[in-house]
Amino acid sequence: MPEATVRKPRPKFLALHEIRLPLPGIVSIFHRVSGAGLFLLLPFLIYLFDLSLGSPETFATYKAIVANPLVKLVLLGLLWAYLHHFCAGIRFLLLDLHQGVELEAARKSSQLVLIVSLALTVVIGVMLW
Amino acid sequence: MVKRIVVGAHYGLRDWIAQRATAVYMAVYTILFAAAALGLPEMSYPAWHGLFSNGLVRFLTLLFFFALIYHAWIGVRDIYMDYIKPVGIRLALHVVTIFVLVGYAGWAAQILWRL
């Protein structure tokens, strides 16, 4: 096989603030960011889980930590991350099964992922508050 | 005609499937667990503790943690592969991530076993 030796210099356009990511692209990068965020804060979540199941005393500590408005905000963010990751993940699984791979359907489903995960965050967030 | 010979140990395929299998398990667990947690009469220590004193819940939860850790490993490794180019730094991150994740697995097992 002939090796391509002469490479045409291709223009690079990687000005992140100027790239307009299409909706499926936004869902995709959110999927990555939410996954990374969940991974980074996983020890905090396991710590809370540990406290909640230790004893009535540690359960009280858990309640006190979770009552802190700042912690609540972080947990709400993590809830959104989890729900986005969840919804986008289901979408990716369906794409793997060749469901909704056409442009129009892919746009619609990515819209749906953003709306459903935000709506679920609001509903569950209100329930847990 | 292009003749494609697919060779290799298929590590990539194995992880690809594992990532999806763990995802499906976690999705199902999430729905079942959310239903069980919402079904609690109140968010008190006895009710919460009681939910996890059920052997099946404990087993499925431990499985959830293991699935989560495997899933997180593949995902985080993919992120490193995309953004971390120097081999040394990437290797160090891999090692730290594996240690941390294995630690989390032990921690989760200890939380659930203690009950």
Q: What is the pLDDT of residue A3?
A: 57
The answer to whether the Cβ–Cβ distance between A39 and B111 falls below 8 Å is no
B50 to chain A: closest CA residue = A53
User: Taking residues B68-82, what's their average pLDDT?
Assistant: 96
Average pLDDT over every residue of B1-5: 64
Whether B104 sits inside 8 A of A35 (CB atoms) is: no
pTM: 0.88
Structural domain spans, chain B: 13-113
Among candidate residues B72, B91, B68, B67, the one with its CA nearest the CA of residue B81: B91
Tell me whether residues A53 and B111 touch, CB distance under 8 A: yes
The structure tokens listed for A107 are 């746009």
pLDDT digits (tens), chain A, 129 positions: 455 566 777 777 677 777 788 999 999 999 999 999 999 999 999 999 999 999 999 999 999 999 999 999 999 999 999 999 999 999 999 999 999 999 999 999 999 999 999 999 999 999 887
Q: Is B45 on the interface with A (CB under 8 A)?
A: yes
* Residue B4 pLDDT grade (very low, low, confident, very high; cuts 50, 70, 90): low
Q: What's the fold here for domain B13-113?
A: 3 helical TM bundles of succinate and fumarate reductases (1.20.1300)
ipTM above 0.95, yes or no: no
- CATH number for A23-128 (one of 1.20.140.10, 1.10.357.10, 1.20.1300.10, 3.30.420.40): it is 1.20.1300.10
- Which pLDDT value is given to residue A13? 67
- C-beta atoms of B30 and A96 within 8 A: no
Mean pLDDT of chain B: 92
**Chain A interface includes B108 (CB < 8 A):** yes
Give the tokens for residue B4: 């494609």
- Write the CA distances from A9 to A5, A6, A18, B77, integer angstroms: 12, 9, 21, 31
Among A residues 12-71, those touching chain B with beta carbons less than 8 Å apart: 32, 35-36, 38-39, 42-43, 46, 49-50, 52-56, 59
pLDDT at position A18, please? 78
According to the model, what pLDDT value does residue A32 have? 97
The pLDDT, as a whole number, for residue A42 is 98
Distance between terminal CA atoms of chain B?
63
Alpha-carbon distance of B36 to B14, in angstroms, equals 32
For residue B31, what is the enclosing H or E element? helix B11-38
How far apart (Å, rounded) are the C-alpha atoms in residues A98 and A106? 11
Length of chain A: 129
Minimal Cβ distance to A86: which of B27, B111, B115: B27
